[in-house]
Amino acid sequence: MRLGIRIFAVYFLFVGLAGYFLLNTVNEEIRPGVRQSSEETLVDTANLLAELLRDDLKAGRLQQSRFVDLLKAYGARQPQATIWGIEKQRVNHRVYVTDAKGLVLLDSNGAAVGQDYSRWNDVYLTLKGEYGARSSREVADDPDSSVMYVAAPIKDGDTIIGVVSVAKPNRTLQPYIVRTQQRLTVLAVGLIVLGLLIGAALSWWLARSLRRLGRYADAVSAGERIQAPQFKGGELAHLTKALVRMRAELDGKQYVERYVHTLTHELKSPLAAIKASGELLQEPLPYEDQQRFADNVVAQSGRMQQLIERLLNLALLEQQQALVEPEIVSLHTLCHAVVEAQQARIDAASITLRLSIDAGLVVRAERLLLEQALHNLLDNALDFTPDGGQIIWQATQLGRNVVLELLNQGPSVPDYALPRLHERFYSLPRPSTGAKSTGLGLNFVTEVAHLHGGRLQIKNCTQPFSGVVAGLVLPLPALT
């Protein structure tokens, strides 16, 4: 299972369970909370009525007072009220009054007048001087039929002379409870979904970032040149910097080992030639032989110097991970400059060079690196083009790339050699002299192409003449 899916699964489980328990707890608390609020209102109402009824009850004229008609009128009222979207069509409070013995003197619905309510908790506790309240079901098997009763004492001084109870059916509170639960459920589900979306985005971002670091590490292991992913602060940025430092240290060690072996191998031959020439020069020789051996020492020293310089330039290029000073470069202008620098050699060999590059073709490149790569390509083409031969330098746009092709007339490259021309120190003998080069020129061009996001491709051609074409494929500048 992928790391991102694991993270999301754990996050989903945590958010889901937390949301479920929170929602369940809130829903469980809504019903008692609403009833407690309603009970507090009933307490106020009962105490208000107790004050209003005291004088009539004390005087013994309660049943003949105007409260009988008031309670009947109250029971018949139709409020036509809309409370937070819920219609209220009739009043729901029931009011009854008892004397000091618990006998019902007055009942708003008229059902209990004359009955003994002294054993009901609301009346019983109130007559004892305690807080009187009860909840009783109208239908024994129906929990939704329960009714809350809250009583208040009617006092003459400190003496309790009666009790007034106010009742309210719990079913009248149910619509508000249901509405609140529904709203909270919708809100909670919305918050859970939002939390899960955030968790999914976080998991995707984290997994994607780790995949980028993984691809970078794989590319480094494969020896590819690739820029490290960029992160703004935090542990990922620190991890990226640590990987870059580790790569630099490992690359440095590998480069030292590789170039020590390379230099050791490549310098053996010229050093042996210099040593042999030096030993011969220690002996008495004719002037012509002395001059020949001295020239050999100079030539081999120059060869070593050229080899060292090219290796150093190639090492610097291979260590470079990205373009340092990129700019928009005209291929037409750059190729013209390279040809002009080689014009003396071209004229000396009577080579016909035709330049066919649109002036509008540009690339984003480091001018000096690209110019050196083009010099290497032209040098290589001139080495293999016979006197009086032809060279064509042309460029075409192919999709979002430009293909810069250098065609030289001359011998074809053997099939076995084609895939090896990019290798360091691999070289074919020049047709004119039979000598080989350092084998670093095309390798340098390959590294420059990779650094610019392109590639070098070499193949044989038969049109417009028999020869070789070296194609440098470079991306066009990004659209702005």
- 16 belongs to a structural domain: yes
The confidence score (pLDDT) of residue 273 equals 67
Residue 105 CB partners (closer than 8 Å, separation 6+): 57, 62, 63, 97, 98, 99, 113, 162
- 194 belongs to a structural domain: no
Residue 107 CB partners (closer than 8 Å, separation 6+): 94, 95, 96, 97, 113
The confidence score (pLDDT) of residue 257 equals 53
| Whether residue 170 sits in one domain with residue 21 | yes
* Across 1-26, average pLDDT: 70
Q: 3-state class of 222 per DSSP?
A: coil
* Across 325-352, average pLDDT: 88
The confidence score (pLDDT) of residue 322 equals 64
476 phi/psi in degrees, rounded to 5? -75, 155
- CA-based Rg of the chain, rounded to a whole angstrom? 50
What's the length of the chain? 480
pLDDT, tens digit (0-9, with 9 covering 90-100), for 136-165: 887 778 877 888 899 999 998 889 999 999
Boundary residue ending a domain (288, 319, 350):
319
* Across 219-245, average pLDDT: 70
Give the separation between CA 213 and CA 216, rounded to whole angstroms: 5
- 208 belongs to a structural domain: no
Residue in the structure block whose two tokens are 């350092």: 438
State the pLDDT confidence band at 391, using cuts at 50, 70 and 90. very high
358 phi/psi in degrees, rounded to 5? -65, 135
| Whether residue 371 sits in one domain with residue 418 | yes
Half-sphere exposure of 421 (CA within 13 A, CB side): 23
Give the separation between CA 5 and CA 210, rounded to whole angstroms: 13
The confidence score (pLDDT) of residue 314 equals 57
Q: Is the pLDDT of residue 462 over 70?
A: yes
Q: 3-state class of 147 per DSSP?
A: strand
Residue 195 CB partners (closer than 8 Å, separation 6+): 15, 19
- CA dihedral defined by 182, 185, 191, 197, rounded to 10 degrees? -110
Half-sphere exposure of 268 (CA within 13 A, CB side): 6
| Whether residue 423 sits in one domain with residue 359 | yes
Give the separation between CA 43 and CA 134, rounded to whole angstroms: 12
Higher pLDDT pick, 384 / 25: 384
| Whether residue 365 sits in one domain with residue 302 | no
State the pLDDT confidence band at 14, using cuts at 50, 70 and 90. confident
With vertex at residue 172, the alpha carbon angle to CA 171 and CA 173, rounded to the nearest 5 degrees, is 90
| Whether residue 266 sits in one domain with residue 385 | no
Higher pLDDT pick, 236 / 381: 381
| Whether residue 405 sits in one domain with residue 275 | no
DSSP of 321-349, one letter per residue?
Answer: -S-SS-EEEEHHHHHHHHHHHTHHHHHHT
| Whether residue 141 sits in one domain with residue 73 | yes
Phi/psi region, residue 42 (left: phi>0; alpha: psi -120 to 50; beta: rest), is alpha
The confidence score (pLDDT) of residue 359 equals 85
Q: With beta carbons less than 8 A apart as the criterion, state whether 191 and 88 touch.
A: no
Range with the lowest mean pLDDT among 37-46, 191-200, 206-215, 265-274?
265-274
Give CA 214 to chain center in angstroms: 15
pTM attached to this predicted model: 0.44
Count: domains in the chain: 3
With vertex at residue 110, the alpha carbon angle to CA 105 and CA 115, rounded to the nearest 5 degrees, is 50
Half-sphere exposure of 361 (CA within 13 A, CB side): 22
Q: Is the pLDDT of residue 192 over 70?
A: yes
The confidence score (pLDDT) of residue 274 equals 76
Give CA 197 to chain center in angstroms: 13
| Whether residue 389 sits in one domain with residue 279 | no
| Whether residue 295 sits in one domain with residue 362 | no
| Whether residue 284 sits in one domain with residue 138 | no
The confidence score (pLDDT) of residue 224 equals 65
CATH number at residue 287: 1.10.287.130
The confidence score (pLDDT) of residue 116 equals 93
Boundary residue ending a domain (276, 295, 319):
319
Closest CA to 270 of 305, 314, 321, 320: 305
- For the chain, give the mean pLDDT: 79
| Whether residue 98 sits in one domain with residue 168 | yes
The confidence score (pLDDT) of residue 272 equals 66
The confidence score (pLDDT) of residue 286 equals 84
Q: Is the pLDDT of residue 310 over 70?
A: no
* Across 472-480, average pLDDT: 80
- 230 belongs to a structural domain: no
Give the separation between CA 105 and CA 115, rounded to whole angstroms: 8
Boundary residue ending a domain (319, 345, 379):
319
| Whether residue 368 sits in one domain with residue 314 | no
Closest CA to 441 of 331, 309, 310, 317: 310
The confidence score (pLDDT) of residue 102 equals 92
- 198 belongs to a structural domain: no
- 49 belongs to a structural domain: yes
- 218 belongs to a structural domain: no
Range with the lowest mean pLDDT among 150-154, 218-222, 330-334, 402-406?
218-222
Residue in the structure block whose two tokens are 């002299």: 433
* Across 217-222, average pLDDT: 70
CATH number at residue 470: 3.30.565.10
- 211 belongs to a structural domain: no
* Across 194-205, average pLDDT: 78
CATH number at residue 142: 3.30.450.20
Can you count the helices (H) and strands (E) in the chain? 10, 14
Structural domain harbouring 462: 327-475
State the pLDDT confidence band at 265, using cuts at 50, 70 and 90. low
Give the separation between CA 26 and CA 186, rounded to whole angstroms: 13
Range with the lowest mean pLDDT among 152-166, 196-210, 398-412?
196-210
CB-count burial class (<10 Å; 0-12, 13-18, 19+) for 38: middle
The confidence score (pLDDT) of residue 15 equals 72
pLDDT, tens digit (0-9, with 9 covering 90-100), for 95-115: 999 999 999 998 888 788 889
